[in-house]
Amino acid sequence: MQNTTFSMEITLMLEITQSQIDQFNLIMFNQFVEKTKLHLHELFPEKMALLDEDIIHEKIMSGKAKAKIYSITSERDVVLFIALSIVLGDNFDEAQENQWIQAILVNSTLMQQEKMDLIYARLDA
């Protein structure tokens, strides 16, 4: 008896619509917001207890958008950026007393994690 191998190639094409992509992005963003809220409540329970949920949501959204200006886009680093805005104020990156922070944030030779690590290291010093 001869051993015969059959080979069949099946090509499966999936079409993902823009609407599906948008829905997925919305789900991912909402998960990010919820995880960030929990993290902020753990870090700053007293401050967060004083804020309305809509204000917290706005702080997260504006912090995420502002972080992106400085090429900070990873979840870890965006959360750290938002935490700075809770502690130092919404415009901490523009404040005169924080010019050193601005210098780090605009430094295009630094990766996003390096930026946040440098800022936190100096604040801890």
> Per residue in 37-61, pLDDT tens?
999 999 999 999 999 999 999 999 9
- Tell me the two tokens of residue 94: 């523009």
- Classify residue 71 as exposed, middle or buried by CB count within 10 Å of its CB (0-12, 13-18, 19+): middle
Contacts of 98 (CB under 8 A, 6+ apart): 88, 92
For residue 21, give Cα distances in angstroms to 17, 27, 73, 75, 100. Answer: 6, 10, 19, 19, 39
Predicted TM-score (pTM) of this structure: 0.81
Span 81-106, pLDDT tens digits: 999 999 999 999 999 999 999 999 99
